[in-house]
Structure 1
Amino acid sequence: MEIIIKVLQGIVGLSILNVWLIQYNKPTRWRGGDAKTILEEFKAYGLPAWFCYVVGTLKVVLAIMLITAIWYPDLKLAAASGLALLLAGSVSMHFKINDPIIKSFPASLFLAMCIIIIFYG
């Protein structure tokens, strides 16, 4: 189980970094509403631009912590718990604006992975 947890840590961490550092200005099918970028997505949710930067910074820091926790396990619970909380917020925002359920799939999947890391890691 230890190897599976480490793999999940890598998947979640690298995926979050990809979204926030590489794909942030690119349209994807997962964006909320009709948004083409992360800033537009936060606007679609009715959230201010500054909140996007706060959430983005938290997600990047927590993703790096989750990856680092592969070698420094003391970071794992805090990183996975923080990401789980933020990902639950992501899922709820999709529901708030009545997005099709498929748009919340990645956030839901990564949330489930974080929960597994929290309880089985």
Structure 2
Amino acid sequence: MEVIEIIEIIIKLGVGLSILNVWLIKRDKETPFRGGGAMSMQEEFMSYGLSKKAMIAVGTFKCLFAVLLLISIFNSSKLLEYAGAIGIAVLMSGAILMHVKISDPAKKSIPAAIFLVLSVAVLFL
């Protein structure tokens, strides 16, 4: 296995597991990165002016794309890899825009920016 392949696996594991952690385990917990001073994911979406249905849709897609990235570690399908990476990149771009929309400090966008960059990196590795 080449070094680039190992780096790509580490990125996919980091992004995929982190997104699943945020949406499945820490969804109702306070973090320093929640938009608008929210204490939970639902409050965060409310601060963006988005509904609970929007939160469920976004969460479903983020988890789906995270799982696709994780599956692509074991399945060499470029379709799975690209769908996961592009999906996460698009959603992270949206997350950054939501933080900007409500004038959050830049530090709250750091996780989304990191996942955006790492997802784009997967496309080019």
Given candidates 89, 98, 105, the residue that maps to 1:100 is: 105
> Percent identity over the alignment?
44
Q: Which digits, 9 at most, give the CA deviation of each residue in 1:63-117, with x for residues without a partner?
A: 1111110011321011100011001100110011000000000010011000100
- Count residues with an aligned counterpart: 120
Q: Which segments of 5 or more consecutive residues in structure 1 lack a partner in the other structure?
A: none
Q: Any stretches of 5+ residues in structure 2 without a counterpart?
A: none
Q: Does 1:25 align with 2:28?
A: yes
Determine the structure 1 residue equivalent to 2:96: 91
Deviating above 6 A after TM superposition, structure 1's stretches of 4 or more consecutive aligned residues are none
Q: Which has the higher contact order (CA 8 A, sep 6+)?
A: 1
SS at match of 2:74: coil
2: CA distance, partners of 1:15 / 1:73: 22
Output the TM-score relative to the length of structure 1.
0.97
1:6 corresponds to 2:13: no
Greater shift after overlay, 17-26 or 66-75? 66-75
